[in-house]
Structure 1
Amino acid sequence: MLCGCLSASAQQVTLKAQLQLTRDGHRAKDASKAVIWLTPLGTTPAPPVAPQTASEVPQLVQTNKSFRPSLLVIPVGGKVEFPNHDPFFHNVFSLFDGKRFDLGLYESGTTRYVQFDKPGISYIFCNIHAQMSAVIMALNTRYYGISNSHGDISIPNVPPGRYELQIFHSSASPDELQALTREITITSGDSFIGTFRLEESNIAHAHMNKYGRDYDRPDPQSPAYARP
């Protein structure tokens, strides 16, 4: 049994990919925060995603009227904490694909938790501050990588086999991302799985509030803006 485990481990490879992000035909300076993930197909082993421990619960912090970080990738079933570090109220919500929730108004110094119990991409907004946005991806595979600012992506410990490859970037259109979905076969000698080109759009910046309406103009006297 030990020999079999060592043999399987020795066959695992670290896959590399390159993302090229452009806008109006020009190469973007920052190609970070693209995600490539591989889902095993057919007889390819699909080990269960490791459950999240209490110490591994990530935070999506609300600070300076923004979410930090703007992208989180977690295992299906994992939780995310949403602490409010701003000196005013926030109302975090997501009513799109992925996890649907509305945390309501909560004040500075308090926090909320959400469990993401199914795979999907959740777009996170604040119902008060329209400029706030983030993405949480809940994946049911352990084989994924996130691009750095140069567009370099690394996916470690991938066994040979058949996979569905998918890619995500918040600035790319769904149609463009869907067109890049493909089946690939990995062998023990593979290391580079390709260069992927995406065109930035404004899709991530256009959204309504949780009621499906345009955002109200900011009111400086509102408790959402004034220090509580």
Structure 2
Amino acid sequence: MRIMRSVGLTCLVSALCLHAASAGAEQLRASVVDQTGAPVVDAVVYAMPIDMKVKAPVSKRPKAIIDQIKRRFVPLVSVVQTGTAVAFPNRDNIEHDVYSFSPAKRFELHLYHGVPAKPVMFDKPGLVVMGCNIHDQMIAYLLVVDTPWFAKTDARGQAAIDNVPGGAYRLAVWHYRMAAAEQRPSRDVSASASAGEPAAFTLQLESE
């Protein structure tokens, strides 16, 4: 099966604000809407530090789960830090064959029930698009980023990144319906209690 998807969406990322969550840590918040003002669900917002190093996870135990339920991947969109192991339990009463041809991670979990013996380690940043060799309608998106500070927008188009240490960051936004996954709008901001006006992004994308 070849995973192909016509993509498109025009959206506005607005009201990106920073405020103190606790002493020594901040919270980054974002609101994402489309060109009609409707909230955008499952947009990923992540913060890359500019002046500090990020520690990669060291545990090989699964830190994230992508389920297979009623012939669908749940969740549709996931985001993890580079070096994270992900489990792929099959909760259906039929077998699935999960695979990806994406450059960031090529893998295949051959026909199986239950939980595979080993999780899949995602050790390169980038977008991983997954499917099932048996059920063509099944598709999922995993964005692997070189940072532990990320969040997805909810049904209201809202996202919050908690416990961000003070410092300079590059905020980026991605959505699976963007025309080009590599074109992620970004803005440099300072995570501090005295941060200035909220940063705002306007994205011009194609309709679906």
Partner of 1:168: 174
**2: CA distance, partners of 1:170 / 1:122:** 11
Secondary structure of 1:15's counterpart equals: strand
CA contact (8 A) 1:99 1:122 kept: yes
Partner of 1:83: 89
2:173 is matched by which residue type in structure 1? I
- 1:62 matched to 2:68? The reply is yes
Higher helix share: 1
**1: CA distance, partners of 2:100 / 2:121:** 13
Higher strand share: 2
For residues 89-108 of structure 1, the aligned pairs below 5 Å read 89-104=95-110, 106-108=111-113
Partner of 1:13: 26
TM-superposed CA distance for 1:132, in Å, is 0.8
TM-superposed CA distance for 1:21, in Å, is 2.4
Structure of higher CA gyration radius: 1
Partner of 1:45: 52
Change (3 A) 1:198 1:87: farther
**2: CA distance, partners of 1:195 / 1:128:** 40
TM-superposed CA distance for 1:37, in Å, is 0.9
Q: Percent identity?
A: 29
- Residues 158-203 of structure 1: CA deviation (Å, up to 9, x unaligned): 233322222111112217x62613333444322833255464654x
TM-superposed CA distance for 1:100, in Å, is 1.2
**2: CA distance, partners of 1:118 / 1:97:** 9
Partner of 1:33: 42
Moved more, 145-154 or 180-189: 180-189
**1: CA distance, partners of 2:184 / 2:65:** 32
**1: CA distance, partners of 2:54 / 2:63:** 21
Partner of 1:146: 152
The alignment covers a number of residue pairs equal to 185
TM-superposed CA distance for 1:152, in Å, is 1.1
CA contact (8 A) 2:102 2:128 kept: yes
CA contact (8 A) 1:20 1:197 kept: no
**1: CA distance, partners of 2:76 / 2:170:** 26
Partner of 1:225: none
**2: CA distance, partners of 1:108 / 1:148:** 30
Change (3 A) 1:78 1:194: same
**1: CA distance, partners of 2:37 / 2:189:** 27
Secondary structure of 2:23's counterpart equals: helix
Partner of 2:193: 188
- CA-based RMSD of the aligned residues comes to 2.6
Q: Which of residues 107, 113, 116 is equivalent to 1:111?
A: 116
- Residues 55-111 of structure 1: CA deviation (Å, up to 9, x unaligned): x5332111211101112222222111112222222221111242111223x133353
TM-score by length of 2: 0.75
**2: CA distance, partners of 1:90 / 1:156:** 35
Partner of 1:221: none
Change (3 A) 1:11 1:194: farther
Listed as ranges, the gaps of 5+ residues in structure 2 are: 1-21
TM-score by length of 1: 0.69
Secondary structure of 1:100's counterpart equals: strand
